[in-house]
Amino acid sequence: MRPVVTVAEMRALDAAALEITTHDELVERAGRAVAETVLDRCPSVADRTIIVVAGKGSNGADGRVAARLLEVKGASVRVLDATGPVDLGGADVVIDAAYGTGLARDYDAPTAPPGVLVVAVDIPSGVDGDTGQVHGSALAADVTVTMAALTPGLLLGQGPALSGDVVLADIGISTATASMALLDEDDLSLIPARAHRSHKWSRAVTIVAGGPGMEGAGALSALGCLRGGAGMTRLVHPVDGTASMAWPLELVRLATSPDQLAAVALEEAARCGALLIGPGLGTGAPIKAAVHKLIAERPCPVVLDADGLTAFSTPAELAAAVADGPPVILTPHDGELTRLLGIGSLGDDRVEVVRSTATATGAVVLLKGPTTIIASPEGTVLFSMAGTPALATAGTGDVLAGLIAALLAAGLAAPLAAGLGALAHGCAGAKATGTLIASELPELIGNLIGALHHGG
C-alpha cells in the first residue's frame, strides 16, 4: 500500500519533518528526485533543452534544484517564472514546478510542443490536490514526481489522466500517521489462502438475492462468492413460482416467500462467516421489512448491496439498524449514494462524502467508480485504481458483492475485505480479452486468486 494524505495533512507532515531537518535539505532531496526521474526517462540530456516553469514556493524551489542538477549533466536549462509569460517553444523536456498541490485559484497552463517530455512536481499545476478537479487549465504530464505520499487529486477526477505515471519519492518525511492508502497489485497477497485443515463450512456465505425477474443477479453474486474462495454458498431467494433458469451447480438454493425470507436467511447465516443482501432482491414492502430484520439481527458480517441499500431511506435509518452488531459493508454506486443521502450529486470531494457517510451510518462504505473509495467509520480510507472500462457492464457489481462476502468469510477485517475485493475485481477484469460480460468475470477472479496461492 502507498500512503495517501490530503493537502492539509501533507503540510502537517512537512512541518513535523522540519523539526528534525531543514527546509533546504528537503528541497534538495525533492529536486534530486525530480532530476533522477528526468534522467530515467531521458538518459542523454546533454545538449537537450529543458525548461523549468518555477513558482515562488517550495514546488518552484524543487524545480530549481532539479534545473541545477540537470545542467551539471550537460543539459541546456532555462528557468521561467510561473507568474510571467511562459513560452515552451524549443523544449525537449518541461518540468512543471509552478504551483503543485497548494494552488487555490485558477491557473492558465502553458502549451507544450508535441513530443515533449513533461514532468510535473507533486501534481500538474492547476489540478486540485484533494479532488483531482482542474482549476482553469493544466499541462498534462507524462510523469509526476510526488514527495512522501500521494494526494487524492492524483487518484480522483481528472488527476489520473493528467498526471501520467506517478513516481512516489522518499525524501525523509514520515507518513506513519497517514490514515489513507492506495492498494497496489502486490497487496493481493493479503488475500488469505485456505488453511490445510479447511472444510466447506470454513468460509461459508449466505446470499439473499435474486428475486423474480432478477435471478441472474443472485447467480452472478454466488459465482463471485464461490470463485472468491467461499467453500459453501447458500442462496435464499424470494420466488413467485415462475422462475426457471440454469443455476450454478455448486449453489445451494432455498426458495421462499418474501414473508419468510428473513427467518430462513437468519437460520442459514448462523452457520456462515458472511451474509450478502441485495443483488436483484426486489424493493416491495415485504422485502424491505426482511432486509431491516436481517440487518438488525445479523449473526455475522454483512455486505449490503443494490436493493438491500434501497430498503433504507436515510443514513440515520441505516445507522439505527447497523448499531451494535458485526460489521456492515455498503457497496453503492453514485446514484445509490446520492439517493441515500438525499442530495443531487456527490460534488467534487468524493473522499469527504464517503468518509462522512461511513461515520454517519457506522458502516464501511465502498463507493464504486474508476477509482473506488473505501472508508471505515473510524475514518481510514483505502483506494483502488484497478478498475477498467471493461467492467462497465451489467452484473459486474453483483460479482463484486459476492467476492467481498467471500473475503469477509475468510476472516478479513471489513475495510480490507472491501478494498481487496475491489482490487481483485479490477485486476481480474483487466485480464479479459475481447468484450467482457459479467458471467465471465468470476472465472477470471478464480484464476487470479488461484495463481496467487498456487503459482502459474
Tens digit of pLDDT for each residue in 227-279? Answer: 999 999 999 999 865 556 778 888 899 999 999 999 999 999 999 999 999 99
Are 239 and 368 in the same domain?
yes
Alpha helices in 204-362 (DSSP H): 215-227, 261-269, 285-296, 307-310, 315-322, 334-341, 350-361
Residue type, 68: R
Average pLDDT score over residue span 116-120: 98
E strand residue ranges, 179-273: 180-183, 204-208, 232-238, 252-256
Give the pLDDT band (50/70/90) at residue 47: confident
Confidence of residue 197 (pLDDT cuts 50, 70, 90): confident
pLDDT at site 242: 53
Same domain, 132 and 201: no
Q: What pLDDT sits at residue 101?
A: 86
- Give the residue-averaged pLDDT of 426-449: 95
Domain boundary among 117, 152, 178: 178
Give the pLDDT of residue 276.
98
Query: Quick one: pLDDT band at residue 196, thresholds 50, 70, 90?
Result: confident
Domain housing 56 = 2-178
- Whether 30 contacts 65, CB under 8 Å: yes
Q: Are residues 155 and 194 both part of a single domain?
A: no
> Which range among 125-134, 189-198, 348-357, 378-387 shows the weakest confidence by mean pLDDT?
189-198
Same domain, 166 and 206: no
Whether 456 shows a pLDDT value over 70: the answer reads: no
- Are 112 and 139 in contact by the 8 Å Cβ rule? The answer is yes
High-pLDDT (> 70) share of the chain, %:
98
* Mean pLDDT for the stretch of residues 136-151: 97
* Prediction pTM value: 0.94
Q: What is the CATH number of the domain that holds 83?
A: 3.40.50.10260
Q: Is the per-residue pLDDT at 436 higher than 70?
A: yes
In the listed set 178, 212, 247, which residue is the last one of a domain according to the structure? 178
C-alpha cell at position 204: 461459508
Which CATH number characterizes residue 356's domain? 3.40.1190.20
Give CA–CA dist 214/204, Å, rounded.
23
Q: 89 and 52 in one domain?
A: yes
pLDDT-derived band at 37 (thresholds 50, 70, 90) equals very high
User: Count of domains in the chain?
Assistant: 2
279-335 per-position pLDDT tens digit: 999 999 999 999 999 999 999 999 999 999 999 999 999 999 999 999 999 999 999
Judge whether residue 29 has pLDDT over 80.
Answer: yes
User: Are 105 and 160 within one domain?
Assistant: yes
Q: What is the DSSP letter of 55?
A: -
162 plus 196 within the same structural domain: no
Bridge partners (DSSP) listed for residue 53: 80, 96
Q: What is the pLDDT of residue 62?
A: 97
**Three-state secondary structure call for residue 219:** helix
Examine the domain organization and report whether 194 and 332 are in the same domain. Answer: yes
Last residue of a domain, one of 139, 160, 178: 178
Closest to 61 in 3D by CA, of 100, 15, 23, 27: 27
What is the per-residue pLDDT for 102? 75
Together in a domain, 254 and 230: yes
CA dist 246 and 258 (Å) reads 22
Please report which confidence band the pLDDT of residue 422 belongs to, taking 50, 70 and 90 as the band edges. Answer: very high
Q: How far apart are CA 167 and CA 359, in angstroms?
A: 32
**Are 125 and 208 found together in one domain?**
no
Question: Between 396-409 and 414-430, two packed helices, what is the crossing angle to 10 degrees?
Answer: 140
| Residue whose entry in the numeric block shows the C-alpha cell 443494490 | 306
Cα–Cα distances in Å, from 80 out to 39, 47, 171, 352, 354? 20, 19, 25, 36, 40
Q: What is the pLDDT of residue 244?
A: 61
For residues 148 and 264, state if they share a domain. no
Q: Which pLDDT value is given to residue 239?
A: 86
Do residues 309 and 402 share a domain? yes
Phi, psi of 454 (to 5 degrees): -125, 0
